[in-house]
Structure 1
Amino acid sequence: MLNLLFPKICNSCKNKLLQGEEIICAYCRHQLPLACFHRTNNDTMKNIFYGRFPLENATALVMFQKKGSTQEILHNLKYRGQKEISAFFGKWLGAELSQNDSYKSIDLVIPVPLHRKRLKKRGYNQVSGFGKEIASSLNVPFREDILLKVSQTDSQVFKKRITRFASEEIFTLSKPEEITNKHVLLVDDIVTTGATIENCAQQLLKNTQAKLSIATMAIA
């Protein structure tokens, strides 16, 4: 009865999901432009941060397409309350990373945090489900209490490149001893210029002797 009254639809094409399909229909899933740099040891994403901070590994699941399927899916996640998309991508990428030797030394997973006001307004961090599922696949802790955001900025998605770099996002570590000498996997929804991740990395790597890897849902 619920399916008749409120049918589940694909978060990309909006068609009704068939039995066995979840979040995205089989056709749209196969049409997604995959990045998956971890499969081929491709350094495309890693090169974004070259010279900015030390980085062990970096991967993204899909390529972001403006006015395409990935934009529709991520907008549903961030602005339309479809938070289950986060876990869907996390299960997908987590299953792959668990079979990759480069990610088997990860000690814990940390998400890029939201400011408390943004979190209260949205009701959830769009990266949490993604990070939790990856942590579960890697059999390591997922920690949201270590890296905190202490300044609020507007969404970075629609800003021009130079404006994003000029935006000041301030993060802090509440428990630096928890990541000392650990291999941290930092997770986020999308990489554009890399400014947000760089600001997070500066805090995670400051006086902790930690190693850092990155995994995101998408890369622009």
Structure 2
Amino acid sequence: MEGGFLLPLKMLWNKILELLIPPACLVCGNRIDDRYQVICPDCEAKLYLIGEGTCPVCGSENKELPCEVCAEGNFAFDSAISVFRYSGPVRDLIHILKYNGYSSPAGYFALPIAELIESKPVLKNYDYICAVPLHRVRKRERGYNQSDLIAYSVAKLIDMPYFNPVKRRINTLSQTLLSRDHRIKNLAGAFQVKNKNLVAGKKIILIDDVFTTGSTLNEIAKTLRSAGADKICAITVARA
């Protein structure tokens, strides 16, 4: 209850500070010319983009085929793509977005994801974008869903419809410290499709912040498949 009350105040205070204090890099604190840049050129130079040559299904940088990650994951989505490696300034920005009440990193991350989708003609033909949902209790504590902010911004940038067809019906334990097997057990039955008419026969882009083991994305993909989804592409800001 306390977190749900304090976080909106923290977000409001951050907005006031943004107006009163000259813009600074959210990662290192150095001055920047434009607050919409979010991070300074020095920190931006440390971002590690994931290039071509990844597994076409799970997006792993593993160069060996058949892909060992796919063999272990048995993924229900058709493909997974990540923009950055989860390290350095990207890791810091995601943490700031999730826990510090700053929403500006969402727009910062949305731009390269939008460019990624625009660069792949097959993805431009998908029906809509959705985000990995938070349980209502977790969302109330945090004040917002960071994946929702990113996905909504992406949809606006590329003029693609945005829906949330899946809800999180179980408030599961945090996945952060769990092993891969425990992550899978923790998520079993956690998601539910709200409206099958928004899913049946649809091509869906599913957006989240970080791909760690893929357990969360995979469980949602299974839920969407059971409701008749045709294609599912999972896109994350970063890959752990």
- Asked if structure 1 preserves the Cα contact closer than 8 Å seen for 2:201 and 2:228, the reply is yes
Task: Give the alignment partner of residue 199 of structure 2, picking from 169, 174, 179.
Answer: 179
Q: State which of 57, 74, 83 in structure 1 corresponds to 2:79.
A: 57
Q: Could you say what the CA RMSD is over the residues aligned between the two structures, in angstroms?
A: 2.4
Q: Is 1:159–2:178 an aligned residue pair?
A: yes
**Does 1:26 find its partner at 2:48?**
no
TM-score by length of 1: 0.86
2:136 & 2:112 partners in 1: Cα distance? 28
The C-alpha deviation readout for 1:43-73, integer Å capped at 9, x for no partner, is 17345455624433321111112xx322211
Matched residue type, 2:161: P
Residue 13 of structure 2 corresponds to none
The 1:171–1:54 alpha-carbon spacing in structure 2 relative to 1, beyond 3 Å, is closer
The CA deviation at 1:151 is: 0.7
Structure 1 Cα separation of the partners of residues 18 and 108 of structure 2: 20
2:154 to 109, 128, 134: 134
Kindly state the Cα deviation for residue 4 of structure 1 after the two structures are TM-superposed.
Answer: 8.8
CA distance in 1, matches of 2:102, 2:19: 20
In structure 2, do the counterparts of structure 1 residues 171 and 63 end up closer, same or farther at CA, with 3 Å as the change threshold? Answer: same
Distance in 1 separating the partners of 2:172 and 2:192: 15
Query: Structure 2 stretches of 5 or more lacking a match?
Result: 1-16, 60-66
Same amino acid, percent of matched pairs: 27
CA contact (8 A) 1:83 1:124 kept: no
List per-residue Cα deviations over 1:74-93 (Å, max 9, x = no partner).
11011101122112101222
Name the CA shift for 1:137/1:100 in 2 (closer, same or farther; >3 Å): farther
**Is the counterpart of residue 13 in structure 1 residue 28 in structure 2?**
yes
Q: Give the TM-score normalised by the residue count of structure 2.
A: 0.80
Structure 1 stretches of 5 or more lacking a match?
Answer: none
Contact 2:85 2:239 in 1 (8 A): yes
Q: Which has the higher helix share?
A: 2
> How far apart, CA to CA, are the structure 1 residues paired with 2:36 and 2:168?
36
SS in 2 for 1:77: helix
Conserved 8 A contact 2:24-2:35? no
2:10 corresponds in structure 1 to none
- Partner of 1:31, secondary structure, is coil
Q: Which residue of 2 aligns with 1:103?
A: 123
Provide the rounded CA distance (Å) in 2 between the counterparts of 1:73 and 1:107. Answer: 29
Aligned residues: 214
